[in-house]
Amino acid sequence: MNTQDINKRIRLIMDLRAKGITDTAVLSAMERVPRDYFVPDAVRDQAWEDMALPIGRGQTISQPLVVASMTQALKLSDRDKVLEIGTGCGYQTAVLSKLCRRVYTIERHKFLLRHAEERYRALKTHNVTAIAGDGMKGWPTMHGVDQAPFDKIIVTAAARDKPPQALLDQLHIGGMMIIPVGESGNQMLKLYTKESDEAYAVRDLMAVRFVPLLPNIASNSEDGHEAA
């Protein structure tokens, strides 16, 4: 990394701190994960700016402030098992991987998932398991093994009016889920804390703008010619 990129990285971390990100572990993770590695070449010069950027398939890499705010709100520990819905380019996953025991992540676009997995391998990120699937249904039972319940869940696409019940069901009692909720143009980032099998505490965190949470694996027409 050249001096200019190092300075951009430092400037972004200082900016996040000034905007209210106080968790030093989160700031350290954001500094160590190379955001420029997760964006297309065409926008790489903007990778260390505090802005969302396009990553293809109509998806975006979230603004660093939103990534940091969501991560900080989950109060992660190195014992936590985390479910992420919406792998995207893999950047949020990589940040989570620095802060928790293991990340299980689901992406509906196979094209994006393949590239995210290539980045994990190149960065030697070994505590991430990624699959193509319907994130609205939660993590599936695989080979007779249930990974649920999870300590924390993070959703990087917006539910229309409430979180999918399957995700709430896969959360530990005492666990937390962060998810944007609402129609386009009127979305609120919400933090759910599961108090019992039937009761949740809900806190509004900030207005956000995310792509909608959609069911099923993306079709070939959605995913382009490179879909598997």
**22-42 as b/e: b if 16+ CB within 10 A:** ebeebbebbeebbbbebbeee
Which pTM does this prediction carry? 0.94
Cα 136 → chain centroid: 14
Radius of gyration of the chain (CA): 17
pLDDT for 96-135, tens place per residue? 999 999 999 999 999 999 999 999 999 999 999 999 999 9
pLDDT for 50-76, tens place per residue? 999 999 888 999 999 999 999 999 999
**Which domains does the chain show, CATH number per domain?**
52-223 (3.40.50.150)
Kindly tell me if the per-residue pLDDT of 193 is higher than 60. Answer: yes
Closest by CA to 183, choosing from 164, 156, 210, is 210
Residue 28: CA count within 13 A, CB half-sphere: 6
User: Torsions phi, psi of 157, nearest 5?
Assistant: -150, 155
pLDDT for 78-98, tens place per residue? 999 999 999 999 999 999 999
Is residue 221 annotated as a catalytic residue, yes or no? no
Q: Which of 62, 77, 184, 196 is catalytic?
A: 62
| 64 prior amide bond cis, ω within 30 | no
